[in-house]
Amino acid sequence: IESNQNFSTLEIKDGYSFNSGFSSVEFCNVPDKQLCQLTNPLILVTDENLSELNKWIRVFDICITASRPLIIISDLVEGQMLKACLATNAKANAGLKEGATRLCIISPPGFGIERYEAMKDIAAACGATFIRKGSEFISEEIKLSDLGSCTSIEVGKYHTNMIDPKGKEEDIKARKEYL
| Confidence band of 1 (pLDDT split at 50, 70, 90) | very low
Contact 9, 3 (CB under 8 A): no
Query: For 24-52, how does the pLDDT look when each residue is reduced to its tens digit (9 = 90+)?
Result: 999 999 989 999 999 999 999 999 999 99
Looking at per-residue pLDDT, the higher value among 11 and 26 belongs to: 26
* Burial annotation 163-175 (CB, 10 A radius, 16+ → b, else e): eebbbeeebbeeb
Determine if the pTM surpasses 0.85.
Answer: yes
DSSP 139: G
Whose CA is closest to 119, among 58, 62, 76? 76
Q: Phi and psi dihedrals of 97, rounded to 5?
A: -100, -40
Query: What residue type is assigned to position 32 of the chain?
Result: D
Q: What is the pLDDT of residue 137?
A: 81
CA 18 remoteness from chain centre: 12
